[in-house]
Amino acid sequence: MELDTFKRSWGTARREGVEHGGYSREALNRIIERNTSSLGKLREKSAFLNQFGGWNAALLVLLAVGYVVWQYHLGLGGSALAGKLSLAAVLVGFALFSNWTYRRQAEIFSENADASSREALRRTLAAFKNYYRFANSVYLVVSPLAFYAVFEVHSFGLSFATISLASAALTGCSFLLRYWYYRAVFFSRIKDMESNLLELEDGPGFEATPNDGG
């Protein structure tokens, strides 16, 4: 959702809190501004990753399909071509899943535009946590397969054990890089949003709005 829309969604909650003797208007404004800032930065970073991920996925699909077509053009056929097709299918599947993860992350910080303030925070935070756990779990499974496919496609002549070990090592490195990136860019702002939610829930006299599930 747009930031102006997000601010408007807090309007009812803000009036309700002042009316019932909870937060002052100034205190609620500070919470709103902090949350708007965090959400805006998360949306901006996610939009960039979504665009980058789309380009990267398209490139990987083109390379995988182009490689198989080129091998067929060179006269490769039978079981050998079938093997190359299976490896290319693994890479295409990995590219499509990666593209979905970036697109889904961008959606998380843009949906729930019609929810009340606390409910929007709850849904956004819960959706991001579920997404992050699911995406990492799948990456730990599909990344070794993708790295293995890359080694096999290029026919480096390495043994199965060597390729498997290299694929596991590269998966570990990529997982750590992903974690460090999210820790530096996303986690601190997610914690800020969690703190904002706790302030709203713990505020004396602050009651749920009609659309708020809290």
**What's the pLDDT tens digit per position in 11-22?**
544 444 444 335
pLDDT: which is higher, 101 or 65: 101
Q: Output the CA–CA distances (angstroms, integers) from residue 204 to 23, 75, 154, 200, in the order listed.
A: 7, 76, 64, 9
Distance CA 58, CA 61 (A): 5
Which tokens is 33 given?
């501004």
Contacts of 185 (CB under 8 A, 6+ apart): 45
Structure tokens at 92: 């295409």
Looking at per-residue confidence, does 35 or 203 come out higher?
35
**Which one has a higher pLDDT value, 214 or 66?**
66
Flag whether pLDDT at 138 surpasses 50: yes
Q: Is the pLDDT of residue 199 over 80?
A: no
Neighbours of 186 (CB within 10 A): 20
Instruction: List pLDDT tens digits, range 154-188.
Output: 766 778 899 999 999 999 999 999 999 999 989 98
Residue 2 predicted with pLDDT over 80: no
Q: With a cut of 50, say whether residue 213 has pLDDT above it.
A: no
Residue 109 included in any domain? yes
- Given a contact cutoff of 8 angstroms between Cβ atoms, the answer to whether 34 and 192 are in contact is yes
pLDDT at 3: 47
Task: List, in sequence order, every beta strand (DSSP E) within 59-193.
Answer: none
In total, the chain counts a number of residues equal to: 214
- Average pLDDT estimate for 136-152: 91
Do the beta carbons of residue 197 and residue 118 sit within 8 Å?
yes
Nearest to 125 by CA among 209, 186, 183: 186
| Confidence grade of residue 153 (pLDDT, cut at 50, 70, 90) | confident
The verdict on residue 213 lying in a domain is: no
Q: Is there a contact between 67 and 88 (Cβ–Cβ < 8 Å)?
A: yes
- Would you say residue 209 lies in a domain? no
Per-residue confidence band for 100, with pLDDT thresholds at 50, 70 and 90: very high
Look up the domain containing 110 and give its range: 3-202
Residue 207 lies in a domain: no
Q: Which residue has the tokens 């609620």?
A: 28
Residue written as tokens 């960039």? 48
Does 18 reside within a domain? yes
Number of domains in the chain: 1
The answer to whether residue 166 sits within a structural domain is yes
Domain membership flag for residue 20: yes
Question: Is residue 214 a part of any domain in this protein?
Answer: no
